[in-house]
Amino acid sequence: MSTKDEKDWLRAILEGRVKPGDAEWERIWQDENFTGVRRVLREVGMRKKDELVADREKMWRAIKQYRGEGINRRRVPVWRWVAAAMLPLLLGGILWINLREKKDLLVAEVMLEIEAGTPRAVLFMEQGERIDLSLLAGDTILNKGDVRIRLDSSKSVTYEQVKGTPAKVEYNTIVVPRKGEYQLILADGSKVYLNSESRLRFPTRFEGKERRVYLEGEGYFEVARDSAKPFIVEAKEVDVRVLGTSFNVNTYVSERAIRTTLVSGKVRVGDRLTGKGEVILPGQQVVWKDGVFATKEVDTSIYTAWIDGKFYFEGATLEEITAQLERWYDIDFFFTSDNVKHFAFAGVINKEYSANKIFSIIEKTTQVHFSVNGRVVTVSEINNKQK
Pairwise CA distance, residues 136 & 156, whole Å: 11
pLDDT in tens, 254-280: 878 999 999 999 999 999 989 999 999
Pairwise CA distance, residues 249 & 269, whole Å: 10
Instruction: With both helix axes pointing from N to C terminus, report the angle between 56-67 and 78-92 in degrees, rounded to the nearest 10.
Output: 160
> Which domains, ranges and CATH numbers included, belong to the chain?
1-63 (no CATH), 117-300 (2.60.120.1440), 308-379 (3.55.50.30)
- 167, 207 Cβ separation under 8 angstroms: no
Q: Pairing mode, if any, of strands 130-132 and 140-144?
A: unpaired
Q: Pairing mode, if any, of strands 211-216 and 231-235?
A: parallel
End-to-end CA distance of the chain: give it in Å, rounded: 47
pLDDT in tens, 218-267: 999 999 999 899 999 999 999 999 988 999 999 998 878 999 999 999 99
Greatest Cα pair distance, the chain, in angstroms, is: 79
Pairwise CA distance, residues 385 & 382, whole Å: 8
Q: Band the pLDDT of 12: cuts 50, 70, 90.
A: confident
Q: Is the pLDDT of residue 122 over 90?
A: yes
Selection from 270, 276, 199 nearest residue 239 by Cα:
270
Highest mean pLDDT among 33-37, 83-87, 113-117: 113-117
Average pLDDT for residues 24-37, to the nearest whole number? 78
Q: Band the pLDDT of 298: cuts 50, 70, 90.
A: very high
Beta bridge partners, 16, equal none
Q: What is the pTM for the complete model shown?
A: 0.70
Name the 3-class secondary structure at 223.
coil
Share of the chain above pLDDT 70, in %: 77
Q: Is the pLDDT of residue 306 over 80?
A: yes
Pairwise CA distance, residues 334 & 60, whole Å: 13
- 372, 107 Cβ separation under 8 angstroms: no
